[in-house]
Amino acid sequence: MRLAGFFVFAVAVILLPILFPDDYFVTVVGIAAGLHVILAVGLNLLMGYAGQISLGHAAFFGMGGYASAILTTRFDWPGWLALLAGLLVAGTIAWLLARPILRLRGHYLAMATLGFGIIIHVVMVQATEWTGGPDGLGGIPPLNLLGWTVDSDQQWYWVIAAAMLLIIWLSLNIVDSRIGRALRAVRGSELAAQMIGIDTARTKTQVFVVSALFAAFAGSLFAHQQAFVSPDSFSLMISVELVTMVVLGGMASTFGAACGAIALTLLHEGLVVFEDYEMIIHGGLLMAVMIFLPQGLFVGLTQGVQRLWMLISSRRNAKACQAEVNTHAL
């Protein structure tokens, strides 16, 4: 029952390419959406559940991407080993950074994560001999999994879909575990959480590392899928977009974050025609959602439906009671 939503989502993800084979929106947009879901679900653990804003999450995405790109093209490492190395790098940096950075709150935390993201971005642009500089790094070989080479759009769809479902399943389980409850306590009140014996610094470190790992994982897949990485894919704007996905869907809801990621990906795809208006719509949307539906589209809608349902069922109950009273009166 707890994972019912997960199974519905999984069935939809599996059915899509079967119902619409070779459809551009499924295989091309679907891959982008899947990667965004992984990133948003990871960021949501940090932002939604633990209440810690990060405006530099693209940095971890980039670390995964560049680790895979550099190790496979310059050192001929196999893809899976490069992916693990990317996870190790991002995880270690997140772990080292977590304690000093997560001691900060609110605006200070926003500034610190933002600064971190910019520093990493500058390194990507400037360390030309390693990263290829602003022109990026191409020629990344296709991913090879146990002898199976992933190189067509359809194959990528299945790999990304599997990765995405794994991440969602992990996230649902983390949220429902002891750590997940500790996270929500931290968001509610850090002092109160400490009073009931939660090591808040440790809990925040753990969630920061986990969300960095998710992002680096997505980064490695992204690098192989695109066969090319450049600093543009990991800029400040990307960090802001990731935050948009989380708040658009609804904070503190794994499916909310997933829906936000899919919605924003589709929106970008749809807005290609209105390229000049893209920023206006993006910015306007961000403001409107935060002002009118601060709990997010997905969470706001499900709460609305729930309330409507309760209203209808209470009316029905009232009617049934009335009918019963009437028959007794007769």
Which part of the chain contacts other proteins (CB under 8 A), choosing from 84-92, 202-210, 240-248, 314-322? 240-248
Answer whether 113's CB lies under 8 Å from 56's CB.
yes
As measured in angstroms, the least distance from the Cβ of 284 to other proteins is 5
Answer whether 296's CB lies under 8 Å from 256's CB.
yes
Contact call for residue 89 and other proteins (CB under 8 A): no
The DSSP bridge partners found for residue 217 are: none
Contact call for residue 276 and other proteins (CB under 8 A): yes
Contact call for residue 100 and other proteins (CB under 8 A): yes
d(CA 41, CA 252): 10
Token digits of residue 139: 């020629």
Contact call for residue 272 and other proteins (CB under 8 A): no
Contact call for residue 267 and other proteins (CB under 8 A): no
324 burial class (0-12, 13-18, 19+ CB within 10 angstroms)? exposed
Which part of the chain contacts other proteins (CB under 8 A), choosing from 21-29, 155-163, 209-217, 236-244? 236-244
Which part of the chain contacts other proteins (CB under 8 A), choosing from 23-31, 82-90, 135-143, 237-245? 237-245
Between 33 and 248, CB nearer to other proteins? 248
The DSSP bridge partners found for residue 196 are: none
Which one, of 224, 78, 259, 44, lies nearest residue 142 by Cα? 224
d(CA 164, CA 167): 5
As measured in angstroms, the least distance from the Cβ of 236 to other proteins is 7
Contact call for residue 277 and other proteins (CB under 8 A): yes
Contact call for residue 271 and other proteins (CB under 8 A): no
Beta strands 148-150 and 228-229: pairing type? unpaired
The single-letter DSSP state of residue 47 is I
Contact call for residue 279 and other proteins (CB under 8 A): yes
Among 37, 209, 243, 261, binds other proteins (CB under 8 A): 243
Contact call for residue 96 and other proteins (CB under 8 A): no
- Tokens 């997933």, residue? 258
140 burial class (0-12, 13-18, 19+ CB within 10 angstroms)? buried
Which part of the chain contacts other proteins (CB under 8 A), choosing from 27-35, 123-131, 147-155, 311-319? 123-131
Phi-psi region of 53 (alpha: psi -120 to 50; beta: other; left: phi over 0): beta
Count of residues that bind other proteins according to CB under 8 A: 45
Contact call for residue 245 and other proteins (CB under 8 A): no
d(CA 139, CA 124): 17
Contact call for residue 286 and other proteins (CB under 8 A): yes
Contact positions vs other proteins (CB under 8 A): 47, 51, 53, 100-101, 103-108, 110-112, 114-116, 118-119, 122-123, 125-126, 189, 191, 236, 240, 243-244, 247, 276-287, 290-291, 294
